[in-house]
Amino acid sequence: YVFIAHDLGVVRHVSDRIAVMYLGKLVELAPADALYDSPAHPYTKALLSANPRMGEGDTRERIILKGDIPNPINRPDGCVFNPRCPKVQEKCKTESPALLQVGNRQVACHFPEN
């Protein structure tokens, strides 16, 4: 089944695998636990940092993205996340990254975390 939601707490509890999209593009597809424990795409990492976790052990730093959200009708060249990405390089501005297998997940990023 496909479950589409913006409530990340619910998504974690009802999903085995999670697909993260940005401006209509798939940026990461991973097993739910792996995605929440160690996101590989910079957008996924920022998105999850905004989701509060219960308990004293949450020491994650909130990632505040800079810049404006691009127009979804006139998406930027290269990676769609490049105008706001904290890891952006020149390659990101000209080449759209393919969805590649990285460990137990697929990531569309030239410089994934894992």
State the pLDDT confidence band at 57, using cuts at 50, 70 and 90.
low
Question: Is residue 31, in this structure, part of any structural domain at all?
Answer: yes
Question: Is residue 83, in this structure, part of any structural domain at all?
Answer: yes
Question: Is residue 3, in this structure, part of any structural domain at all?
Answer: no
Any residues with CB less than 8 A from the CB of 48 and at least 6 apart, and which? 8, 35, 36, 39, 60
What domain range is 103 assigned to? Answer: 8-53+61-107
pTM above threshold 0.95: no
Q: For 106, how many CA atoms within 13 A lie in the half-sphere containing its CB?
A: 13
Question: Is residue 80, in this structure, part of any structural domain at all?
Answer: yes
C-alpha of 82 from chain center: 12
Which residue in the block uniquely carries the two structure tokens 């994934």? Answer: 112
Question: Is residue 21, in this structure, part of any structural domain at all?
Answer: yes
Question: Is residue 101, in this structure, part of any structural domain at all?
Answer: yes
The per-residue pLDDT for range 14-35, each reduced to its tens digit, is: 999 999 999 999 999 999 999 9
pLDDT at 114: 62
Percent of the chain having pLDDT more than 70? 92
Report whether 35 contacts 18 (CB < 8 A): yes
pLDDT at 53: 66
How many domains would you assign to the chain?
1
pLDDT at 31: 97
